[in-house]
Chains A and B, each alone.
Chain A
Amino acid sequence: DAGITQSPRHKVTETGTPVTLRCHQTENHRYMYWYRQDPGHGLRLIHYSYGVKDTDKGEVSDGYSVSRSKTEDFLLTLESATSSQTSVYFCAITGTGGDGYTFGSGTRLTVV
């Protein structure tokens, strides 16, 4: 979707290395989210943000941290990547009230 972009689209990294994924939005939406998608588990919420510098944990937050220093950018960091973090990561945005969610195109991360 034109209003939300993720980078990189693909990444292969080694176990134990730090990795940062970026989500950028041009919609000025307040809320931003990171999900991971795995076969058999569907989409699960990792972390979310409800404003600049305001973040909270989701269902599967262990091993991940996030930061939001500007409204438009939400970063997801794997401090020390593990093979269990091999997944497809999606960023999403939404406004308040009855707005729907818009998802980015995803980042396919492989930890070897």
Chain B
Amino acid sequence: DAMVIQNPRYQVTQFGKPVTLSCSQTLNHNVMYWYQQKSSQAPKLLFHYYDKDFNNEADTPDNFQSRRPNTSFCFLDIRSPGLGDAAMYLCATSGSGAGYGYTFGSGTRLTVV
């Protein structure tokens, strides 16, 4: 089945130690998104790629970076995780039409110790 796959499901990292989360898709969608979701909050958009064009949200900290080497893969790099970065990180894809909903991966739950 076509889908969005995130690895790993659970990630524990040390305070300040760089960590990379990965996302792949078989839907051939041209738009990929990274969201951060904390408990009882709505998903918060960090950035998105429209094809190769990177779009950063104004309030996304510099600590968060992203790479999209090809259509299928997108990575989230957290350069120096802090305790406040512990959250669920969700990757999503969509087509580019206004009526497209998003397809989410299962998420990576990040714990910072």
**Chain A partners chain B:** no
Using a CB–CB cutoff of 8 Å, the interface residues on chain A facing chain B are none
Task: List residues of chain B with CB under 8 Å of any chain A CB.
Answer: none
